[in-house]
Amino acid sequence: MQGSGVDETAIEASGLVKRYAGEAALDGVDLAVRAGTVCALLGPNGVGKTTAVRVLTTLLRPDAGTARVAGADVLRRPQEVRRRIGVSGQEPAVDEILGGRQNLVMFARLLGYRPAAAAERADALLDRFGLAAAGAKQVKHYSGGMRRRLDLAVTLLLAPQVLFLDEPTTGLDPRNRNEVWTAVRGLVAGGTTVLLTTQYLDEADRLADEVVVMDEGRVIAAGTPAALKARVGGERLEVVVRDAADLATATAAVAEVCDGTPEVDADAGRVGGDVDRPVAALSRVLSTLAAARVEPSDIGLRRPTLDDVFLRLTGHRTGRRPDRAEGAVGAGPTEGADDAEVAA
């Protein structure tokens, strides 16, 4: 996705720190997001992504640092920040008993719309998100993607300048994820700035103008998806063996042609490494394996992915970090704790 070309910074943070029981959920986070673009905070659960969003949306006070969202200071002018943003959490906040249109009208009335204006705004948003035909249907009969799109529609009732999406496609199947991605692209095309958190490498790659990689409460890298992948290198040769006993032979074969030490995933029976001359390297490895009578279950060349970037930067792949989950005791707040700390 191309950026809007706008130079104005919609979200900026400097030195954000948040600690729980002596452990830093945020450890000096700096962030700058241009207006009219998508920024993805990438990393497994427990690295500080949701905590950062809670600070930027005024739900948590940082222990140190500053932040401005849509031109307003999150500590000095929290009410102004709230008027300028929309927030969609990991679970859609819509009423399943009501229909889609009823939900939108209800939320619009709660936000101060007069009855006629609420109905008009609801119809416009149903059209915008492709939900007009299902507007009268109870939300409990919606698919996951339809619910998420309705939730996005609710957040746009007040036309926010900045929209925060916390893992917007968690638990959705590929079709529903694509529906949400299309909706997000439409929002950005209309000028909305989007900050989303995600564990999904393909989501960050497909949606984001800039990716901010987080680990252990810190920003460890930032840049466009293409720039981050360029840091890893060029083509990558990978071999997957059928028999674990053949992994050592495959590793030795890849080591002969790759730059540096091959990366081995013993559980998956996979070995890979970066290569300068990909076709020649592939041919040589195939010959070596054939001479050793090793038949791989898969072998091929591929370009670096954001997963490669994350692995190179952190030493582990994305996925839930069992040792440090946000919201766990000693690692982060519960939802109730967040409510108690809403900025005044």
Both tokens of 50, joined, read 């949701």
How does the average pLDDT of the chain come out, rounded?
Answer: 86
What is the H or E stretch that residue 222 is in?
Answer: strand 218-223
- What does the pLDDT read at residue 173? 85
Q: Which CATH superfamily is domain 9-229+318-340 in?
A: P-loop containing nucleotide triphosphate hydrolases (3.40.50.300)
pLDDT (tens digit per residue) in 247-299? 999 999 999 999 889 989 999 999 998 898 999 999 999 999 999 999 999 99
Which residue matches tokens 């529903």?
Answer: 176
Within this chain, domains 9-229+318-340 and 234-303 share the same CATH topology: no
Q: If pLDDT is split at 50, 70 and 90, which confidence band does 323 have? A: very low
Q: Is the dihedral of CA 126, 127, 130, 136 positive or negative?
A: positive
Which residue matches tokens 């729980």?
Answer: 20
Tell me which fold the domain 234-303 belongs to. Answer: Alpha-Beta Plaits (3.30.70)
As a whole number, mean pLDDT of residues 34-41 equals 95
In this prediction the pTM is 0.74
Domain ranges of the chain: 9-229+318-340, 234-303
